[in-house]
Each structure stands twice: as C-alpha cells, then as structure tokens.
Structure 1
Amino acid sequence: MKNFKIVLFLLLISLSPNIFSQENIKLFIKVKDEKNKPVPGAVILIDDVKQNRVANLQGVFKIRLQKAPKTITAFSPVIGVNKIDYQNGQNNITIKISKGENLLYKEKNLKEQSVNPQQFATIYDYLRGNVPGLNVSGTNITIRGFNTVNGNTEPLFIVNGTPVEKSTFSLIIPLEIEKITVLKGAETARYGVRGANGVIVVDTK
C-alpha cells in the first residue's frame, strides 16, 4: 500500500505541469463614456463573440475564460463601440467609448446570443409587450395597416434621430429605452421612400 502511494504521488508530480499550465483568466471589465461615467447595459464581445450577459448598472462586466482573448469589444447602441487588444496578464480592463463613435456599427460573424436585462430579454420582447400597432414575430416587425412595398415589409428604424440598420436596432437594451413612437401615413412623409412601411422611432435615456 505504501509503495502504491509513492507511485501515485510521483505520477501526480509528473502530470502537474500539464494540469497547472491550463489558463484560467478572470477579467474585470469597466465600460465608461467620454465623461468617465459608467455605461450600464453595454454589450461585451470576446474575440467578436457576443456574450449572453451585459455590463451591470455600474458598467462592470466580469467573466472567467479558459484562455486569453485576442480582442475585447464594448458596444452601446446609445453611444458607440470600441474594440481593444487584450494585453497578456491584464485582469482589470477599462474600455472607453465616445458619443456617436461608430454608432452604426454592424455585427459581422458574431455568435448570436440574447442579452438578459431585468424585465425584457430583447428589444423585440419590449415591443411585443409595450407598443401597440405592431406585429412582432420573432425578430420580424411589421406595422399594422401597411402593405408590402416591393416585397419588403420592414419599417424604417430611427434611433436618437439617426437611421440605423436592423442589426444595430436589435442591440438596443430595453432598460435604455425612454420613448418609442410608431409613425404611419403622412407622419412618414419626411422620410420619403425609406418610410414606405412605416417608421419606428426610439429615443434612449
């Protein structure tokens, strides 16, 4: 029995370099705006993969990774986006994004995962439960009373006065919404052909 314990001990020692060489990195990420204020609800992407949680009310995001990332991105549909290179050994990271910087940032080759705010999981859940006059099926939105125009039923999306793509609209955090207005008929005239299927106007906090 004693000899068995000795052999087992020696075996563990021989394997230990491989066991302890595995990376286990804990990151503490702070997202701030140009005034050094926290950005709650910021979407975090690790190596261009969107995470299934967002920054908390203090703009803080914590995550444990098996290996060091190459890049970390923070995105807010209200402010903009900033992508940084990860420095090896860095655990406390601050990412600053400036107002209007790359506001129309589009996700490309990202793993689709839903964010998880307190009351509504996505902007589509918010629209389905709070905004009358809309038909919301999954991520498809149509404004009631509008017919197909050139085979397209998608309305125009306006966020804080700026037309945005649906991919950007989809990233809006429900907790950031201040007001949503649905425009029909003559109200869409100033948007021309782009507003042919109606307009959804979102103002954020």
Structure 2
Amino acid sequence: MKAIFKSISIIFLVFYSLNCFSQRIEVSGKIIVFDSIPIVNADVIVKSTKEIFKTNNLGVFKCECNEKDKLIVIAKGFNKYTIKVKKKSNELIGNLKLAKIPRAAEIAIDKGHILMVDSFKKLAKKNSGQKDYSKYISIMDVIRNEFPSLQISNSGIIIRGKSSLIGSSAANIEIDGVITDYSSLSGLSPTNIAKIEIIKGSDTAIYGVRGGNGVVKITTKK
C-alpha cells in the first residue's frame, strides 16, 4: 500500500508541475503617463513570484508570469498601478497617474522616470488645474483681468457689490490656507500663483462669520 501511495503521489506531483509550467507565459507592455509619455526605470513586479522587471527608455518591459497573474507598477511620484494579466496577453498598457502629493512631477523627474521633461511639465501643469499668470504685472492686474466682476478699491476686494450697511464690504483674503489682510496681496508675484478661487454663497459656510462678504482664496506654487 505504501508503494502504491508513493507512486500516486509522484504522478500527482509530476502532473502538478507540468500544469504549473504550462501556465507560465511571456508578456510585454508599456508604462506611460498622460497617455503618451514613457515612464523610464519603473518597477514592474510580478505578484506571484515577486520578481522585479524595469521599463526601458521607451517605457517598455518584458516579463514572464502566470496566466491570470497581476503586475504591480511602482514609480516615484506616481500612484501604484495594477495590471491584470490575461491568457495570451501582449502589449499591456499601464497609464499611470501623478500622486496627489507636493512636488509629485518634480519627484518623478528627479528620480529619472521622465526623459521628455518639457512635454511632461506642460501636461503636468495643464492637468493640475494651474494657470499661468506670469503675463501680468501684479496680483491686482491678475484680478482685474481674470475676474472682471470683482470691484477693487483701496480698502479691499468686493465680491457682492457695495453694501448699504455700516461696515466693510470687502472679501476676506486667504493665502495658502491662512486668512490674512488685503495688504498681504502686494507681496505676491503673479509668477508664484498657482490658483485663485472666488468663494461666495453657501460655499463660505466653512468660514463662519468671516465668510459673510465672500473669500478670495489664493494658492501659491509650492
């Protein structure tokens, strides 16, 4: 009985090994960002074996894995990305997204993941929602041209029109999350401004009483 059991075990192991071997496939793919820019030297990790493969200067990689395996793509400055492998998979595409952390684009460049630097920077800025205010001379020039409905006076910026009540009608000024005064605007350079938002109506509820006249929210480039 022992001999029979041993023989059956050997046969089972042989068939199991052959079955596992037959499931190994070779796949290739490309890792990009913004649908077109190759990501260089990214780690492509085969989940089943933990083997790590690198993308080349064109963002291309080749690896061997199991059918229905998963490939984990990691590159500094980008979110982790998972590619599901299917039978006879080939030319897999991983379109990564910039991580939502400060200086994500700069980190990706510093780590050598991007060779098309100029194109990458332009697309990163476009997708971040940042505007280029460098053509303006001052912050007041920015506000006059970008937000013509606002009124600018020596005492502040008025969003809702002049109030008939006693007291200031000027909006509050917020710079990088800090409520400050109107005079602080004079120290801002248009080239250092990433975004300007005009907050009014029910959106000012988070500011409490201070948001009664609206808020000019300014975010600078970090």
TM-score by length of 2: 0.36
Structure scoring higher RCO (CA < 8 A, sep ≥ 6) equals: 1
TM-score by length of 1: 0.39
Q: Give the number of the structure whose alpha-carbon radius of gyration is greater.
A: 2
